[in-house]
Amino acid sequence: TVYENMAFTLELKKVPKDEIDRKVRSAAEILGITEYLDRKPKALSGGQRQRVAIGRAIVRDPKVFLMDEPLSNLDAKLRNQMRAELIKLRHEIKGTFIYVTHDQTEAMTLGDRIVVMKDGVVQQTATPQEVFNHPANIFVAGFIGVPQMNFFDAQLVRSGNGFAVKTEDMNVALAPETCAQLALNWDGGDVKEITAGVRPEQILLADKDEEGALQGTVEVTELMGSTEHVHVTAPDGQFVLIIPVVDLEAKGALKAGDSIWFKFEKNATHLFDKVSGKNLI
C-alpha cells in the first residue's frame, strides 16, 4: 500500500512503529494524500504517485532533498499543478532542495538560486531575476526566456565618454550608466564587433517618426491569449515581439506581409562579446 511504501525505509532502520505512523501520516497530510494511504500505488494517478515518492523522502527528515526532473513524465496540466504544490511544500518543510531540470519554467519558479550549466560547466549562478535580467553570457541569455532573446550582429562604437550600438539600420545611444560600466573594462579602440540582444517583451510598436524606430515586415503572428507573438523580418535580422492584444486592438490587427515600425525599450539592449560570448555590461 501507499502507507507501506512510505514507511518502508523507516522500518528498515528499526524506527518504532508509533513514530513511523506519526511521520507517515504527517507527510501524507502535507502532500494531501491521506485518503490514499490504504491504496496500492498502481491505482493512483501519475501526480499522486509523484507525491508518494516525495512523501517517502519526507518521512526520513533529510537535510537536503535532491530531485532529478521529478515532473518530466507528467502531462502539461499536471506538471503545472505539481509545480505549484512543490513551491508550497518547500515553504512548509523549510528544507534545502537541489532540483535538476531542463525546464526553465521550473527553474525560474521553484528556485531561490539557479545554476545554469552547459556541457557540465557552470555558466552562471544567481537568483532567477538576476539570470533573466543580467545573463552572464549569450548562452544563458538564449536559454532563459520564452520566446528566447532576439540576437543580431552590431558594432559598439565609442565617441568620447559615450557609446552607441550601430548597425546598417540602427544607431542607438546607450544610457550614461551603461556607458560608465563599459568604460571600466574598455580595451581600447573606437569600434568593437558585438552580438546584441533584446528580449521580445522589450520591443514595442512605434510610429515611423519616433526616435530609434525600425521598420520590418510581419512574417507570422501567434495569438497566445492576452498577448500575440509577432515574428518580424528587418534589415538587421529576425525579431520576435510580444505585443499585448489591447495594444493591437488600438492599432489594428497585424497579419503576414504587413509593414510595421518598432523600437527597443530604453536600456533593453544586451551586449555580448563576439568571441567569448560574455556579457559586456
Q: Provide the pLDDT for residue 275.
A: 93
The secondary structure of the chain as a DSSP string is -HHHHHHHHHHHTT--HHHHHHHHHHHHHHHT-GGGTTS-GGGS-HHHHHHHHHHHHHTT--SEEEEESTTTTS-HHHHHHHHHHHHHHHHHH--EEEEE-S-HHHHHHH-SSEEEEETTEEEEEE-HHHHHHS-SBHHHHHHSSSSPPEEEEEEEEEETTEEEEE-SS-EEEPPHHHHHHHHHT--SSSEEEEEEEE-GGGEEE--TTSTT-EEEEEEEEEE-SSEEEEEEEETTEEEEEEEEHHHHHHH----TT-EEEEEEPTT--EEEETTT-BB--
Q: Which domains does the chain have, with CATH numbers?
A: 2-110 (3.40.50.300), 114-143 (no CATH), 150-273 (2.40.50.100)
pLDDT exceeds 80 at position 84: yes
pLDDT in tens, 5-20: 999 999 999 999 999 9
pLDDT in tens, 31-68: 889 999 999 988 998 888 888 988 998 899 888 999 99
pTM of the model: 0.85
pLDDT in tens, 218-245: 999 999 999 999 999 999 999 999 999 9
